[in-house]
Amino acid sequence: MKAVQYRAVGAEPEVVDVPEPEPGPGQILLKVSAAGVCHSDVAVMSWPAEQLYFPLPRTLGHEGAGTVAALGAGVSGLEIGESVAVYGPWGCGLCLNCAQGKENYCLEAQKLGIFPPGLGAPGAIAEYMVVDDKRHLLPLGDLDPVTTVPLTDAGLTPYHAIKSALPRLLPGSTAVVIGAGGLGHVAIQLLRALTPARVVALDVNGEKLKLAAEVGAHETLLSDSRAAQEVKAMTGGRGANAVFDFVGAAPTVATATACAGMESDVVIVGIGGGAATVGFGATPYDCAVRAPYWGSRAELIEVFELARNGAVDVHVELFGIDETPEAYRRLHAGKINGRAVILPNG
């Protein structure tokens, strides 16, 4: 079968032919219907060998959806042909956090060498993929796998980030979204669906700002060194109640903390290497700065409920599996509006 692999440090991903996998006991084989392309892969593929925590080659793709193609020994409760999405941040299933569905914060995964598909385990950008346990599958029902698959990361990650900031986002509040790309354009819709906050979107790219306005941002701003002052001005000098940084680079983290108000949440989701200076006098009174990772199984169920209610509409650009390297190139160049989705089986 065809799979897209990251094969050598610093090299472009390659479309290769690999043996079709077989599901072991407890595992499920999926025929992949759609796989999303995330900027985290671009970041991982830019890391030096010392930083890379899994061996190469590895099949990419940590947003996956498919139909059940075969069941490993002992698996029941799934129909062959059933349409499912994959919960990606796999954990041990047994620790306290996993027991709460927070496998993204599994206490044992690192020790046990458990990796998410596409970020260490064989991923979704392939004709078939193996899922390690049925608890990592969510039935899609009538949801379209192509527009829903990005919700497993580009929806779940902002949802998790926003959910813990909800107490800040009361009527009259302002939420800032920095980076209106794959995650950011979903974050804007989630903020509109879940809160009465005024949503201000920042990006460096006019096309992204246009999309931000289309999906519900009340205001859009060019992300530059003046942006924080503009947010301050928009809020009568008070600053934003919550800032979500989907870039996480030094200049955006600086903007994020500079435009935050008292008792605000600054949530750094992007992995651009920036770090905030936090302390008395450096940040407004009681401003909390967090850097969360992905989301829980329960939260993914909640995100799918929102999708069923029509509250989120992911903008997708579609590619065949052979075009995956081009999709990554375009994402790297900032030329994907919304999310790139690969259709490995045409």
Residues of the shown chain interacting with ligand NAD in the complex, contacts defined by CB under 6 A: 38-40, 43, 153-154, 157, 178-184, 202-205, 208, 223, 246-249, 251-252, 269-272, 293-294, 331, 334, 336
- Supply the minimum distance, in Å, between the C-beta of residue 91 and Zn ion: 4
In whole angstroms, give the CA distance from residue 254 to residue 288: 14
Contact between 25 and 65 under an 8 Å Cβ cutoff? The reply is no
Listed in sequence order, the residues at least 6 apart from 341 whose beta carbon sits closer than 8 Å to its beta carbon are 34, 35, 36, 37, 146, 147, 149, 150, 316, 317, 318, 319
| C-beta closer to ligand NAD: residue 209 or 287 | 209
Closest to 120 measured CA to CA, from 50, 52, 31:
52
Q: Which is nearer to ligand NAD, 57 or 334 (CB)?
A: 334
C-alpha 17: how far from its chain's center? 27
Min dist CB 141 to Zn ion, Å, is: 24
Structural contact between residues 269 and 248, judged by C-beta atoms closer than 8 angstroms: yes
Nearest distance, CB of residue 337 and ligand NAD, angstroms: 8
Contacts (CB under 5 A) with Zn ion, residues 105-144: 106, 108
Alpha helix ranges (H) inside the chain: 39-44, 96-99, 109-112, 145-148, 156-163, 182-194, 206-214, 227-234, 250-259, 297-308, 324-332
Least Å distance, CB 108 to Zn ion, is 5
248 touches, from Zn ion, ligand NAD, none (C-beta below 5 to 8 Å by class):
ligand NAD
To Zn ion, the closest distance from the beta carbon of 97 in angstroms equals 6
Q: Nearer to Zn ion by C-beta: 42 or 311?
A: 42
Give CB contacts under 8 A, 24+ apart, made by 90-96: 90/114, 90/115, 90/116, 90/117, 90/121, 90/132, 90/133, 90/136, 93/133, 93/135
Among 44, 60, 84, 98, binds Zn ion (CB under 5 A): 98
Q: Which of 21, 91, 248, 344 binds Zn ion (CB under 5 A)?
A: 91
Indicate the residue among 26 and 251 with the shorter CB distance to ligand NAD: 251
With CB under 5 to 8 Å by kind, the binding choice for 334 among Zn ion, ligand NAD, none is ligand NAD
Give me the least distance between CB of 80 and ligand NAD, in Å please. Answer: 31
CA distance 136 to 75: 13
37-76: contacts with Zn ion (CB under 5 A): 38, 40
Q: Which C-beta is closer to ligand NAD: that of 60 or that of 180?
A: 180
Smallest distance from ligand NAD to CB 42, Å: 7
Per the CB < 8 A criterion, the answer to whether 122 and 6 are in contact is no
Radius of gyration of the chain (CA): 20
Could you list the residues that contact Zn ion (CB under 5 A)? 38, 40, 91-92, 95, 98, 106, 108, 153
